[in-house]
Structure 1
Amino acid sequence: MPPVDTPGRAAGGPDAPRLIALDWGTTALRAFLLGAGGRVLDRRAAPRGLLQVPPGGFAAVLAEILGDWRRPGLPALAAGMVGSAQGWREVPYHRGPAGLADLAAGLLPVPEKGPEGEAVLRIVPGILLDGAPPEVMPEVMRGEETQVMGALALEPGLRAAARIVLPGTHSKWVAVRDGRITSFRTYMTGELFAVLRAHSILGRALAPSAQPAGAADEEEAWAAFDRGVDAARAGKAGLAPLLFSARTLVLAGALPAAASLDYLSGLLIGDELRAALPVGEPGIPLALIGDPALCRRYRRAFARLGLPGTHAGTPDGPREIAGATEAGLWHTALAAGLVAGPEETR
């Protein structure tokens, strides 16, 4: 990747930077330098999420990761937990269903000013959906809304109606209708796995050096994962009575200790799918956004449950959409007038 000051990167050049796009979460910061049409010119990443930023240190962290990208008049846009109460500036949630225009209208500029007096950064609002307890509880998201908008830009066939699944620490199952997020639910699958692994007896079956996935040989690990998915499907009483089986199967000699966390992963993901899939409408396309290794587990669980994706599906589950974050930030900036569209740059 050429340095920022090459002739092609000059103002108006074919590779001129148009937007700095930031995915700033709890544990990590990813930065993208975007050119015309949202093309990625460069990218950087650092473990400088909210938990690693000292009080009052957000501006310094931003300057550190941007380095020679910074220049007068180049807008910067961020999504994620940087806009939470624990972040740089708390951005009010957009309340209710939302589309791209709603997110663009809710951008919040941070008060700090750059060398030319412009805001250093604008932050995308999250979404809050009020519930009607006890049937439906309130739901919130910060960052995933931008990824969903990016997915819809990359895959226009999903705009009419779709369910987009974002596996992670807090998995989101998002319903889309006419290009808008109409509802979503959160499943704390990733966080439950981390807590059970680190702070429960279920993680003690492993040697200290064992890894959370693939600790056994690959075939053994996937067999354990499949067994967990099958147990979740058959568990009519839900997840709670099944969790201890990750230990008892090892004690009974029916599951290798090194594969016990793969089994637990299958239990948790299988239970998430068992709970989430009946909520949607039959035949609605499914798509995944997330870490490829984690998405592979979800695709395998979909296939194990006999529920392959219906949108550009692969044999073992829904299609993954790559590049959704940077696409979502670009299109939000476009909707907000921070960058110019193709017809304005000719």
Structure 2
Amino acid sequence: MTQPHLIAIDWGTSSLRGFLIDNGGKILETRASRHGIQNLPAAGKEGFEQAFIALCADWVTQYKILNAVTCGMVGSAQGWVETPYVACPAGTDTLLAHATAVEAPLGVRLLIAPGMKYLPEGGAPDVMRGEEIQIAGVFAIAPETRHDALIVLPGTHSKWARIRDGQVESFCTYMTGEIYDALSRHTILSRLLVAPNTCSDDERRSAFEQGLSLASNGGTGDFAHQLFSVRTLGLFGHMPQELLGEYLSGIVIAQEIISGIAKFGADDIRVVGEGPLCRRYQDAIRFIGGTPPILHGNTAPAGLFLFATTAGLTSQGDHETGQLRTG
């Protein structure tokens, strides 16, 4: 194994992931922990220090690591040390200029990346924390996106970010995942939804696309009416209950994609993240927008390495792209 050099941590609300990386950007080991900022082993600063030690103390002591970088909710007002949002347009250099350094346990200097805020003239403000590093990871993995791209990050609160000249120019947040969860668990629709364990992939895809089609062919303000069709299709047996969740998912995701494409266009879309949800977004964007988006995986470690490289914490990475290698 090559010599470990850097610890990178993606520190969220409910969990965190740590990456042991060498000086050239190769991921040597990955660890996960349940110690997100709302699930710390103790209150306040002590809780963060204990979580850090539990995650990576042996890495620090065995390999004499002096530097670590982190992103996500660890820099929020409820985090280890608050690291305020930076305003768009902003790139990796901007993040570094407003980062916060913390003296972590075992003599490690921990650099916390700030989040981003978008303050459109005459519009409501928007924020992200953690996604800005995922976007930096896309820059590292696919350098052509620095010039002009549209990056979509599905999740509980999905983000659509317009990239120009190596900076996040603007972005928009959609509460799509949270809306689906609320509808499927806390409304009358929840009584009809059954896990599709006995359905084929083709059946599930067809139900999802029916929801996409209904939403994409609807009129302004039809969303609430479209939602009620989940109940009536089940009530009259026009769709098996096992498929109603897929249909509902199509309706809800389509609202986001229709709006996102209207705001940002449909050219050079990159979907960022892992798992079935991101593949579902890829399929839905293709269905509604026509242009097949490129799917990237988890770009957070690549973004953290680029952040560290920009800070001068690595000497052998690609200082232009911060390219991270795996395997």
Report the Cα distance in structure 1 between the residues aligned to 2:184 and 2:219, rounded to whole angstroms.
24
| Cα 1:251/1:104, change in 2 over 3 Å | same
2:83 to 76, 87, 91: 91
- In the alignment, is residue 253 of structure 1 matched against residue 253 of structure 2? no
Partner of 1:35: 22
Aligned residues of 1:170 and 1:189 also touching (Cα < 8 A): yes
Report the Cα distance in structure 2 between the residues aligned to 1:186 and 1:289, rounded to whole angstroms.
14
After superposition, the CA RMSD in angstroms is 1.9
Partner of 1:3: none
| Cα 1:280/1:296, change in 2 over 3 Å | same
Partner of 1:216: 199
Which whole-Å deviations, capped at 9, do the CAs of 1:212-254 have from their partners, x for residues lacking one? Answer: xx66332221111011000110121332221111111100211
- In the alignment, is residue 55 of structure 1 matched against residue 43 of structure 2? yes
Partner of 2:215: 232
- In the alignment, is residue 157 of structure 1 matched against residue 110 of structure 2? no
Offset of residue 46 of structure 1: 2.1
Offset of residue 341 of structure 1: 3.3
Partner of 1:129: 118
| Cα 1:343/1:242, change in 2 over 3 Å | closer
Which whole-Å deviations, capped at 9, do the CAs of 1:143-177 have from their partners, x for residues lacking one? Answer: 10001111011101111100000011111000000
Offset of residue 262 of structure 1: 0.7
Aligned residues of 1:80 and 1:142 also touching (Cα < 8 A): yes
- In the alignment, is residue 279 of structure 1 matched against residue 230 of structure 2? no
Poorly superposed stretches of 4+, deviation over 4 Å = none
Aligned residues of 2:87 and 2:118 also touching (Cα < 8 A): yes
Greater relative contact order, per chain length (Cα 8 Å cut-off, separation 6+): 2
| Cα 1:218/1:169, change in 2 over 3 Å | same
TM-score by length of 2: 0.90
Offset of residue 38 of structure 1: 1.4
Partner of 1:4: none
Offset of residue 193 of structure 1: 0.9
Aligned residues of 2:137 and 2:303 also touching (Cα < 8 A): yes
- Provide the secondary structure at the position in 1 that maps to 2:206: helix
Which whole-Å deviations, capped at 9, do the CAs of 1:100-147 have from their partners, x for residues lacking one? Answer: 11111111122x44344x53x2210001111233xx311110010001
Offset of residue 295 of structure 1: 1.3
| Cα 1:342/1:46, change in 2 over 3 Å | closer
| Cα 1:253/1:343, change in 2 over 3 Å | closer
Report the Cα distance in structure 1 between the residues aligned to 2:163 and 2:198, rounded to whole angstroms.
37
Which whole-Å deviations, capped at 9, do the CAs of 1:197-216 have from their partners, x for residues lacking one? Answer: 12111111135xx36xx663
Report the Cα distance in structure 1 between the residues aligned to 2:52 and 2:188, rounded to whole angstroms.
40
TM-score by length of 1: 0.85
- In the alignment, is residue 171 of structure 1 matched against residue 158 of structure 2? yes
1:200 to 160, 184, 187: 187
Aligned residues of 2:273 and 2:299 also touching (Cα < 8 A): no
Which whole-Å deviations, capped at 9, do the CAs of 1:312-339 have from their partners, x for residues lacking one? Answer: xxxxx31111241111000101111222
Aligned residues of 2:25 and 2:317 also touching (Cα < 8 A): no
Report the Cα distance in structure 2 between the residues aligned to 1:304 and 1:101, rounded to whole angstroms.
36
Aligned residues: 313
| Cα 1:35/1:163, change in 2 over 3 Å | same
Partner of 1:5: none
- The one-letter code matched in structure 1 to 2:43 is P
Partner of 1:11: none
Give 5+ residue unaligned stretches, structure 1.
1-7, 9-14, 309-316
| Cα 1:51/1:43, change in 2 over 3 Å | same
- In the alignment, is residue 330 of structure 1 matched against residue 310 of structure 2? no
- Provide the secondary structure at the position in 1 that maps to 2:120: coil
